[in-house]
């Protein structure tokens, strides 16, 4: 049996009627509970056995009182990052947050003042822009440029926007959701050099770090030029994408510089006082210790789904542009040429019956794009392809 078939048979689960946002909020979010859900970034796969066993053991113990992180937690966290990304994380850098979106809000609030400018590179994960706006900061954008079917960084615009708006913070998405890029060393160096020149703090959201494919290797911002940019850097990561743990509300901020840490700690003392999630911490430690093989099976399944989508659309709906999947489990598509006067929603949702993330959620100018979540069964991806192809032929 192929590894993909084995993985799907073992881990795929029906999620309707389990209080799943993705499947059970379709009516609220899209107005139609019967859509095929390929939107929000979680998966239809059970977490690895090692995580479930560790959680069951703890639940069976039956006490959920105040807790202390064991040394073994830090050992597994540090060893995962050392082995996979060759970064040496020091325990004193680590702070916790219930989620990365929460962490982004905290960083915006701790390091910038009202009306300060914060820059992002759309199309990008929409809570970046929402968090900036909702915190009363000025949203500044440096859109990615599409060059021969690949999204690239526009360094001139990035620098100009920083200079003209006196930007204080840049939120880096690495790997980049939704365009699927894994930034190279050169690309990151150029961006961080600009940030250094204008004394801009970098928040690098690396939540998708464990999803890269082929020759695309994740380089953490912490490892760019041997840590040269660590003086003005905060990295946010978590196991919530890696092991499908979003609702266990446990994520990490890494703050290597002592002065930058002091600012966070002061903010935390005055505003937070939160404890890390016990179950989140147990799940992550178990996943980092023993979840590697499961993750490899998952990644093969995602690549299988991506190849299926590319091959079938190239054959039957070649007008749809599918962007390269270097990282993440989210594929970006341009459907402009098959719309024939319809809106993207009319085509994708009303005709094809799919709940996806619409391009215009990620920034102005992307209304003909969609993002599809590939972390599901090949059967679901096949169904989506069939509906797209059928409706392209009709229109």
Ligand X SMILES: Cc1ncc(COP(=O)(O)O)c(C=O)c1O
Whether the Cβ atoms of residue 330 and residue 369 lie closer than 8 Å to each other:
no
Only one of the segments 67-75, 97-105, 142-150, 339-347 lies at the binding site for ligand X (rule: CB under 6 A); that segment is 97-105
Q: 195 vs 21, 221, 230, 258, 286, CA distance in Å? A: 37, 12, 12, 19, 37
**Which listed residue (89, 101, 144, 279) binds ligand X by CB under 6 A?**
101
**Which listed residue (177, 204, 230, 244) binds ligand X by CB under 6 A?**
177
Phi-psi category of residue 87: left, alpha or beta, with phi > 0 → left and psi -120 to 50 → alpha: beta
Output the smallest distance, CB 1 to ligand X, in A.
Answer: 31
Only one of the segments 78-86, 99-107, 151-159, 378-386 lies at the binding site for ligand X (rule: CB under 6 A); that segment is 99-107
Of 168 and 371, nearer to ligand X (C-beta) is 371
- Is residue 375 within the footprint of ligand X (CB under 6 A)? no
Whether the Cβ atoms of residue 171 and residue 104 lie closer than 8 Å to each other:
yes
Residues in the interface with ligand X (CB under 6 A) total 13
Q: 274 vs 102, 269, 270, 277, 282, CA distance in Å? A: 12, 10, 11, 9, 17
- Is residue 41 within the footprint of ligand X (CB under 6 A)? yes
Binding mask 268-287 for ligand X (x = CB under 6 A): --------------------
Return the residues of window 121-150 that contact ligand X according to CB under 6 A. 125
Question: How far apart, in whole angstroms, are the C-alpha atoms of residue 233 and residue 170?
Answer: 10
Closest to 173 (Cα-Cα) out of 129, 133, 138: 129
Whether the Cβ atoms of residue 354 and residue 35 lie closer than 8 Å to each other:
yes
Binding mask 330-349 for ligand X (x = CB under 6 A): --------------------
- Is residue 99 within the footprint of ligand X (CB under 6 A)? yes
Question: How far apart, in whole angstroms, are the C-alpha atoms of residue 189 and residue 234?
Answer: 16
Output the smallest distance, CB 205 to ligand X, in A.
Answer: 5
Output the smallest distance, CB 219 to ligand X, in A.
Answer: 16
Question: How far apart, in whole angstroms, are the C-alpha atoms of residue 78 and residue 75?
Answer: 5
Output the smallest distance, CB 229 to ligand X, in A.
Answer: 20
Whether the Cβ atoms of residue 209 and residue 173 lie closer than 8 Å to each other:
no
Return the residues of window 183-242 that contact ligand X according to CB under 6 A. 205, 207, 238, 240
**Which listed residue (35, 173, 201, 222) binds ligand X by CB under 6 A?**
173
Helical spans, DSSP H, in the chain: 3-11, 21-24, 26-30, 49-61, 71-85, 100-111, 127-134, 155-165, 185-197, 258-271, 278-290, 292-316, 344, 378-394
Of 180 and 317, nearer to ligand X (C-beta) is 180
Only one of the segments 83-91, 96-104, 262-270, 363-371 lies at the binding site for ligand X (rule: CB under 6 A); that segment is 96-104
Return the residues of window 244-263 that contact ligand X according to CB under 6 A. 246, 251
Only one of the segments 95-103, 190-198, 227-235, 253-261 lies at the binding site for ligand X (rule: CB under 6 A); that segment is 95-103
Output the smallest distance, CB 142 to ligand X, in A.
Answer: 17
Instruction: Return the DSSP state at 45.
Output: B
Provide the binding-site residues for ligand X, judged by CB under 6 A: 41, 99-101, 125, 173, 177, 205, 207, 238, 240, 246, 251
């Amino acid at each position: 049996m192929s590894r993909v078939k084995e993985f799907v048979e073992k881990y795929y689960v029906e999620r309707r009627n389990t209080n799943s946002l993705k499947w059970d909020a379709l009516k609220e979010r899209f107005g139609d509970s019967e859509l095929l859900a390929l939107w929000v970034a979680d998966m239809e796969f059970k977490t690895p056995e090692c995580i479930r066993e560790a959680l069951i053991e703890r639940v069976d113990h039956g006490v959920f009182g105040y807790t202390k992180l064991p040394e073994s937690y830090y050992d597994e966290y540090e060893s995962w990052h050392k082995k996979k990304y060759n970064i040496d994380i020091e325990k004193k850098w680590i702070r916790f947050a219930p989620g990365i979106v929460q962490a982004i809000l905290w960083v915006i609030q701790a390091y910038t003042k009202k009306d300060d400018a914060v820059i992002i590179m759309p199309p990008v994960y929409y809570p970046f822009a929402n968090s900036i706006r909702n915190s009363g900061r000025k949203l500044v954008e440096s859109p990615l440029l599409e060059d021969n079917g690949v999204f690239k960084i526009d360094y001139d615009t990035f620098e100009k926007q920083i200079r003209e708006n006196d930007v204080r913070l840049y939120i880096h998405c690495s790997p980049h959701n939704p365009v699927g890029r894994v930034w190279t060393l050169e690309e990151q160096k150029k961006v961080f050099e600009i940030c250094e020149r204008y004394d801009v703090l970098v928040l690098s959201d690396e939540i998708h770090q464990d999803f890269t494919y082929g020759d695309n290797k994740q380089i953490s911002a912490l490892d760019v030029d041997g840590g040269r940019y660590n003086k003005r850097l905060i990295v946010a990561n978590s196991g919530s994408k890696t092991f499908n743990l979003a609702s266990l509300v446990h994520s990490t901020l890494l703050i290597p510089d002592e002065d930058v840490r002091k600012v966070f700690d002061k903010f935390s003392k005055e505003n937070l006082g939160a404890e890390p999630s016990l179950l989140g911490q147990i799940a992550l430690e178990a996943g980092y210790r023993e979840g590697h093989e499961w993750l490899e099976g998952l990644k093969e399944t995602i690549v299988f789904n991506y190849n299926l989508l590319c091959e079938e659309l190239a054959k039957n709906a070649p007008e749809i542009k599918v962007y390269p999947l270097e990282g993440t489990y989210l594929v970006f598509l341009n459907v402009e040429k098959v719309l024939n006067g319809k809106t993207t929603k009319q085509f994708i949702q009303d005709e094809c019956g799919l709940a996806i993330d619409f391009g215009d959620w990620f920034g102005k100018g992307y209304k003909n794009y969609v993002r599809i979540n590939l972390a599901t069964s090949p059967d679901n991806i096949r169904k989506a392809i069939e509906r797209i192809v059928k409706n392209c032929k009709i229109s």
